[in-house]
Chain A
């Protein structure tokens, strides 16, 4: 292993030095010469007809450069959706137009009506107040089921209804599933809400448009998880700028959690306005704007039914979900409740028959899209809650019921279209039981009771699909793009390496973990390898970071490119050593001739590549730079078992997490410290969803949780120390590193563990009528459930 850390080393994150010292370079740190600032006038009503927008007074205000409205974007494309779902009748989804600035109607609080560009932000804000927007307020629809009723207000007048699609999966199995339910010995039913969340990355979104009149080139600096995707979507579908005339740069990005995947109107506006005005235009979201313009997450309402035979084997599963799309279709929105949710409904279990129905619904709310886990937390939560409820109804141990139904043979083809390549659910459950001291629970319960507190233990499993995704598969499923990843490995003359990758790091630690792989392969120090990402001018076309795909897909591309480098370097070494290429071995950065003491160092070979004085020019080109694109042939399937122990204050309903344990199988691990950190962060977000976070609208579509005064984020003292283990490793069978991905696991596995634990605590205290409480399990909700 390289002295400063190869594969498997807990190397400290090199990027943290600049982040912790305040020397990170975020988009808002960038300022272009002569830049102007834009302020968006946003709708304060959820639904209304735009009768007129008079900008004349605003345009005359001091410092104002120009005021734009929806009329300026006639003939410009709308914000596109990247995924098309075909519904259960074979019809394609209803896809409304999404103009950059509102045209005709406003459809949610925060919908941009006009944009004021001025010499300063204050001047832009002052002028925005002088805009006269005459809006005829219309009745708003927020509740999904109400939105599907006849006579409901229509979010989009030109669509037939508020139903985006009605998806059945797998439609051909429905009759068999229904029959299995008719024949079941026991059926457990649960209705639940997966609460709407706001991602709240530490860094709000920022966009700077820049235009080089001399060359006719546009540049967008933006807070994105995938700059190439933004270049493609914005260039091709919105502004009509060919990719060779458009550069997108996403420098240091302070967290995304999904919310910075999508192409947003503000990005298109700044790029458009910079060209129109021949002047850089900058937008920095305030936190209040972030609450009402960043895509929200989750927001599913589900009824799930589990059928069991007389021996407690799962025989069928049936779900009906309403999924909120918000007012427009965000980039990935249609795929979240379908292909990222329906395909995971088998979970860790060999349930033979599954039918999933999803109705996606337009409402007068902010668009909803992928948020850490994206569809998989929703699937896991339903399944692990209904299994827990079934165990209680049947009077069997919830862990034993799970074990009895585990998939144990791999590869395993689920009835919901995916094939798990590998896994060992028994091993992670064994590990979990070892970590949590179940036999000591009764004593801990008694101790809590002495202090007047209730105590409960919740256990669950999860499976997820990462490494998104095989392009040929997602193409069949409605993706309008491929989902490969790319890497260029550029070796310099003196042996140092720059890897340019399409994977974007916005907190994941790629700058540390990616070099560990290359260093290990060549046998040089990791400090000789640098990662560049986030600039379409440097990195080859890549699809970016989401779905825990970076190491599994981007890392694999980097491995393939490094293999090409090594193959070429061996040719050069063979020439230098006057040996046959087949006899060259690479170890610890030395090329040697097998069976001899003849060798040449990595640096000698790289120098020869760029100073080809003694070089086989007729056989090998000079230089040492290779590119690879990697497209996986399957998803990866991380899995695990989680446990949570809680105390509940019966007088106030307040839940305290006493302990939390996670036993994960991520396959091979590159940097275990970074993996620990990813799991910790994921669990914190999952506990946030389970106990604290909720995005709430009132019936008129006003956002009641528009600031941190009302939107409860988890804080350090809400969280316990976690016991985290990833020693159970069944390597992925189809990517070169055997890795699976760890970024979302914590957020997927933890909500059901918390809710199972709280319900367990109440049940043990004799509250046998409490079989479920919807998240977040705030003190008032738990108290209400106990006193219903």
Chain B
């Protein structure tokens, strides 16, 4: 085999390898602008049950079947959680009144009393529960707060947002999901 032929074969193999790498990269799941990748998106939402940090009442995700549920993992020691707190309260106030969506907070690696104080100080009125042993956080694959998941009315995880959220950002995602559901 001539040197030229060998070079052509080597070149062809290199090009094929590059094309295969690009194709594999493109086939991997991608995150959208606002949302982050989560393997849970599209799957049935793991159960959430716990005691309210403020009132001690039982809170369960299954009670909210039929509406969008925003699940927000937070901690009192997390600065971005402090930043998003007023936006979350605004979102809860607007959306729960319109019966479109609701919000559940889940404490992440925090002391219950400190987390409850954080909720009182930020004026949160939405139900927020303790998560001893981070069982719920592990079920949702949370690596750190703030992390937010949106659950569809049928009980499936439809979005995951890593980092602080705003009420307008959440509303945009939910409106898009509602449009997609209706079409």
A binds B: no
